[in-house]
């Protein structure tokens, strides 16, 4: 990166360390923190959407829809998320390519599964073989987001349907008495009111989501754990910067990162919780009212 | 080879009893079910012992957290923050890396030599991590429950002349447990699921004795087909979870036995406090 | 945008890819000197140079990607890349599901490495990377196997005393032993297991396999391959 770093073997001491920490691979390592944060930023709303849909489905009058909603939320509770991560990505990738092949391939006569091999025509590959490496990374990232969103969406479904049930019945009945239709009650009363009940559960889910990110490397995303392992391992002179086993230090770095993330999240979410409790018929809301009075 | 032979050979393989070598060719469904099931022994071992020991530490920590003295309160708060604030995956890795730094010949303490080499083995090292981890999570649950004990209950206890230790054992602690139990059930479920991480980060498998995920991984690797072993392990975990929920709801009934039917807190599995 | 396109076309033309098809190569990136991620964050090592040369000779346009060792074969079958170039030994077990080109690195002996030359590997534990032929060999010969997910950790286990010996490719171990200042040393005689190292392709990709084979043959014939092996493995590297 810098001119003085041109020949790492001749460097010593702090210069060596400076050059080492700014090598191309380390820059990738720093970028992977951004990847993890980006994943969190994208996954959280996606899981919320899925969870909201799931919660609505599990309240539906139509029985099959209700079964889908309930089944979905029950799905991930009994099974460790790591098990899903082990085979979801390949399944998802094959699913997407299969669907695409039904539209873009000219010749659909060949079987898709030939023994253990999965075959679609070249035009149906996602991304196309000619795509740039960046596209491949972006696609891998996309698959990881979808996998995380599906697993965590199921948890959100659970939290939200619990929160919808926790909204005091009297509030809904009052709305009905004012002549609102079922839809209006749902949109104007139930949804705005449920957040305060959902927040403790969602707060926890957010913390869980943060702490699930070290498993990203299972989804073939080059995340911080991947780079910490890769950079920390013993480096012989085959590498420009050789050093003994430093994984311990890299993982301590990750520990600090996660503790910071947790601390910041705690501070922000406490504020949100205070804001949401304002004027609510809950203990926290009552305490605020008294404090003001 | 019939399926019964397979079960005889591999049913206890995960603890080193039975066939010496794992199957290497012609994999059958029976083999996969048996070996992955055998690996569950470790998952259950870790979950049960970690929860059992963790329960006591969690109680102590919860009490420390409501203590007035900052010398008791602060360490407990930090302990809970570190273990709840970082991923278990990284805790396992760091624990292993630190445990292997212990001197091989044992530690000299007061003239006694304390063996340390067993600490790096999964059965001990990983158990310690899981124990501390679940203690931190449960402590948070118990702490929350201690704080939400109805004021009236405590005033009533005092009116009956109960104070100090007696008030704690007769009123505070049973009420705390009753209030915390639904969340504690969730914690137990997640503890069970977390045991799959043991052989996944840090701790190596010894003589191919591993947990359910280790064997599922083995089969996925040998058959090059992930779509059979992973659904099998998923199935096993659903069954285990159901058993666990049943057991915990029995305890919950016992804890709530004095309350009128309609006010009993049923175990509603809301993931309020999970990892 | 047009300019960019023009530049890429020029680049492609100058490299001599007249009617090139894109072939995706995958490697592990953690097995020096075979393959590694260099300090620039790119795939490097012997297989990088070898793979690029093969592609050039077979008039293929190649791109590199990395994949975890664990799922490297399922992802090949799933079509996420076309060729595995990851120091993979040709074994009967793997041949059942994928095809290999001819070997581009001769059958290489595996070796035990311990802290001292008289370390008793037989009494174990012996560390090896999970799901390698070495791990299978250790288990089958009745030694106590200690499995780690990455090759790096297997060596670390000997350094910190968890394992008495590590069993791995001697070519992987040699630089580590040489640069360990005496902390590590080879124990006993090397053991010959497994075939040579080949490129893995899908069984249905016979045309691609033919092209790669032809390129490897020509590299063996004019000595290019031996020069490359010398460059990355030193004088101890096995030649054709």
The per-residue pLDDT string of chain A (293 residues; one tens digit each, 9 = 90 and over) reads 567 787 777 877 888 888 888 888 899 899 999 999 999 999 999 999 999 999 999 888 888 998 988 888 877 777 888 888 888 888 888 888 888 888 888 877 778 887 778 888 878 888 887 777 788 888 889 999 999 999 899 889 888 888 888 888 888 999 999 999 988 998 999 988 888 888 888 888 898 899 889 888 888 788 899 889 888 888 887 788 888 888 899 999 999 999 999 999 999 988 988 888 777 777 677 777 777 64
**Residue B263 pLDDT:** 56
CATH for C20-107+195-233, among 3.40.50.970, 3.40.50.720, 1.10.3720.10, 3.40.190.10? 3.40.190.10
Domain definitions of chain A by residue range: 3-287
Closest-CA distance of chain A to residue B159, Å: 25
Range(s) within chain C of domains with CATH label 3.40.190.10:
20-107+195-233, 110-191
Residues contacting A113, CB < 8 A, separation 6+ = A119
Between residues 133 and 152 of chain A, which touch chain C (CB distance below 8 Å)? 133, 136
**Residue B62 pLDDT:** 94
Distance CA A108, CA A102 (A): 7
**Residue B82 pLDDT:** 94
pTM of the model: 0.87
Q: Compare all CA atoms of chain B with the CA of A84 and give the residue at the minimum distance.
A: B230
Residues B3-263, CATH architecture = Orthogonal Bundle (1.10)
Tell me how far the alpha carbon of residue C11 is from its chain's centroid: 29
Indicate yes or no: CB of A25 within 8 angstroms of CB of C37. Answer: yes
**Residue B265 pLDDT:** 56
List the beta bridge partners of residue C44: C36
Mutate which of C68, C162, C164 to test chain B, going by most B C-beta atoms within 10 A? C162
pLDDT band at residue B44 under the 50/70/90 scheme = very high
Q: What does pLDDT average to over chain C?
A: 84
**Residue B43 pLDDT:** 95
Residue C136 structure tokens: 């299978």
Instruction: Give the phi and the psi of residue A8 in degrees, each rounded to 5.
Output: -60, -30
Q: What are the tens digits of pLDDT across the range B178-205?
A: 888 888 988 898 899 999 999 887 788 8
Residue C59 structure tokens: 């008039």
Confidence check: pLDDT of B133 > 50: yes
Indicate yes or no: CB of B222 within 8 angstroms of CB of C97. Answer: no
Closest-CA distance of chain B to residue A153, Å: 13
CATH superfamily entry for domain A3-287: MetI-like (1.10.3720.10)
**Residue C18 pLDDT:** 38
The segments of chain C whose pLDDT lies below 70 read 1-20
What letters, b where the CB count within 10 A reaches 16 and e where it falls short, cover A10-37?
ebeeeebeebbeebebbebbeebeebbe
Residue in B189, B213, B275 nearest the CB of A208: B275
Instruction: Tell me which chain B residues have a C-beta less than 8 angstroms from the C-beta of A259.
Output: 81-82, 85-86
**Chains A & B: contacts with CB separation below 8 Å:** 110
Instruction: Tell me which chain C residues have a C-beta less than 8 angstroms from the C-beta of A22.
Output: none
**Residue C14 pLDDT:** 39
Closest-CA distance of chain A to residue B111, Å: 31
With an 8 Å Cβ cutoff, is A34 touching chain B? Answer: no
Indicate yes or no: CB of B224 within 8 angstroms of CB of C73. Answer: yes
ipTM over 0.90: no
Mutate which of B101, B118, B124, B207 to test chain C, going by most C C-beta atoms within 10 A? B207
Closest-CA distance of chain A to residue B195, Å: 9
Instruction: Tell me which chain A residues have a C-beta less than 8 angstroms from the C-beta of B226.
Output: 86-87, 90
pLDDT band at residue B270 under the 50/70/90 scheme = very low
Strand order in the sheet with C30-31: C30-31, C35-37, C43-44
Residue A1 structure tokens: 């990166």
Q: Compare all CA atoms of chain B with the CA of A249 and give the residue at the minimum distance.
A: B94
**Residue C52 pLDDT:** 93
Distance CA C110, CA C133 (A): 10
Residue in A120, A136, A233 nearest the CB of C152: A233
Q: Specify whether the CB–CB gap between A117 and C204 falls below 8 A.
A: yes
**Residue C8 pLDDT:** 42
Mutate which of C36, C72, C77 to test chain A, going by most A C-beta atoms within 10 A? C77
Q: Which CATH class is domain C110-191?
A: alpha beta
Distance CA C27, CA C72 (A): 8
Give the pLDDT mean for B41-64. Answer: 95
Instruction: Tell me which chain C residues have a C-beta less than 8 angstroms from the C-beta of A90.
Output: 71, 74-75, 78
**Chains B & C: contacts with CB separation below 8 Å:** 50
Q: What percent of chain A has pLDDT over 70?
A: 98
What letters, b where the CB count within 10 A reaches 16 and e where it falls short, cover C89-107?
bbeeebeebbbbbebbbee
Touching subunits of A (3+ CB pairs, under 8 Å) are: B, C
Q: Token match 């200690």: residue?
A: C146
Confidence check: pLDDT of B267 > 60: no
């Amino acid at each position: 990166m810098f001119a003085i770093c041109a020949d790492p073997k001749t460097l010593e001491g702090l210069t060596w360390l400076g050059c080492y920490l700014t090598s191309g691979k380390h820059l990738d390592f720093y970028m992977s923190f951004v990847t993890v944060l980006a994943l969190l930023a994208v996954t959280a709303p996606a899981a919320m959407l899925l969870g909201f849909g799931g919660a609505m489905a599990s309240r539906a009058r139509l029985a099959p829809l209700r079964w889908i909603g309930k089944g979905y939320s029950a799905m991930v509770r009994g099974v460790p998320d790591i098990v899903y991560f082990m085979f979801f990505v390949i399944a998802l990738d094959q699913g997407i390519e299969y669907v695409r092949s039904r539209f873009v391939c000219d010749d659909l006569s060949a079987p898709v599964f030939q023994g253990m091999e999965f075959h679609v025509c070249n035009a149906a590959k996602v991304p196309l073989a000619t795509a740039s490496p960046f596209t491949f990374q972006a696609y891998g990232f996309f698959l990881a987001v979808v996998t995380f969103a599906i697993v965590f969406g199921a948890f959100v479904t659970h939290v939200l349907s619990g929160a919808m049930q926790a909204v005091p019945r009297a509030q809904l009945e009052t709305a009905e008495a004012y002549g609102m239709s079922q839809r209006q009650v749902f949109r104007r009363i139930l949804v705005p009111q449920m957040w305060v009940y959902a927040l403790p559960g969602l707060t926890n889910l957010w913390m869980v989501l943060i702490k699930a990110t070290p498993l990203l490397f299972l989804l073939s995303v080059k995340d911080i754990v991947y780079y910490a392992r890769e950079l920390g391992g013993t480096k012989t002179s085959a590498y420009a910067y050789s050093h003994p086993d430093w994984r311990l230090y890299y993982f301590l770095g990750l520990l600090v990162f996660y503790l910071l993330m947790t601390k910041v999240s705690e501070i922000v979410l406490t504020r949100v919780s205070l804001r949401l409790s304002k004027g609510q018929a809950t203990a926290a809301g009552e305490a605020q009212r008294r404090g003001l009075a | 080879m019939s399926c019964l032979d397979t079960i005889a050979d591999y049913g206890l393989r995960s603890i080193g009893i039975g066939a010496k070598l794992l199957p290497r060719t012609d994999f059958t469904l029976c083999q996969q079910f048996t070996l992955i099931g055998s690996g569950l022994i470790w998952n259950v071992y870790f979950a049960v012992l970690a929860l059992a020991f963790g329960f006591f530490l969690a109680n102590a920590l919860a009490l420390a957290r409501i203590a007035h003295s900052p010398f008791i309160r602060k360490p407990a708060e930090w302990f809970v923050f570190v273990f709840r604030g970082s991923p278990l995956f990284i805790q396992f890795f760091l624990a292993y890396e630190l445990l292997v730094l212990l001197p091989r010949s044992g530690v000299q303490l007061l003239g006694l030599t304390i063996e340390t080499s067993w600490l790096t083995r999964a059965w001990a090292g990983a158990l310690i991590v899981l124990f501390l981890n679940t203690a931190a999570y449960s402590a948070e649950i118990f702490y929350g429950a201690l704080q939400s004990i109805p004021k009236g209950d405590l005033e009533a206890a005092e009116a009956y002349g109960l104070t100090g230790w007696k008030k704690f054992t007769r009123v505070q602690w049973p009420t705390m447990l009753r209030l915390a139990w639904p969340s504690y059930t969730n914690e137990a479920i997640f503890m069970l699921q977390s045991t799959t991480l043991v052989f996944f980060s840090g701790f190596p498998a010894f003589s191919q004795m591993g947990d359910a995920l280790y064997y599922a991984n083995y089969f996925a690797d040998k058959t090059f087909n992930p779509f059979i072993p992973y659904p099998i392990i998923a199935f096993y975990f659903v069954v285990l979870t159901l058993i666990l929920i049943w057991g915990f709801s029995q305890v919950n009934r016992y804890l709530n036995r004095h309350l009128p039917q309609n006010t009993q807190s049923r175990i509603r599995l809301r993931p309020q406090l999970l990892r | 945008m047009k300019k960019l396109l023009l530049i890429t076309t020029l680049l492609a033309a100058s490299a001599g890819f007249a009617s090139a098809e894109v072939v995706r190569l995958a490697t592990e990136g953690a097995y020096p000197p075979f393959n590694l991620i260099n300090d620039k964050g790119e795939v490097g090592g012997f297989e990088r140079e070898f793979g690029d040369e093969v592609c050039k000779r077979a008039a293929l346009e190649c791109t590199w990607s990395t994949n975890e060792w664990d799922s490297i074969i399922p992802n090949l079958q799933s079509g996420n890349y076309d060729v595995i170039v990851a120091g993979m030994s040709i074994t009967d077990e793997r041949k059942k599901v994928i095809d290999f080109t001819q070997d581009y690195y001769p059958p290489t002996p595996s070796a035990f490495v311990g802290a001292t030359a008289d370390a008793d590997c037989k009494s174990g534990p012996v560390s090896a990377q999970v799901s390698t032929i070495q791990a299978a060999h250790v288990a089958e010969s009745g030694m106590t196997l200690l499995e780690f997910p990455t090759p790096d950790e297997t060596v670390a286990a000997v350094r910190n005393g968890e394992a008495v010996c590590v069993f791995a490719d001697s070519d992987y171990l040699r630089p580590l032993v040489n640069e360990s200042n005496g902390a590590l040393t080879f124990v006993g005689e090397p053991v010959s297991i497994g075939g040579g190292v080949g490129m893995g392709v899908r069984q249905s990709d016979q045309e691609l396999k033919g092209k790669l084979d032809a390129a490897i043959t020509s590299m063996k014939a004019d000595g290019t391959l031996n020069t490359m092996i010398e460059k990355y493995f030193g004088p101890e590297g096995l030649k054709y």
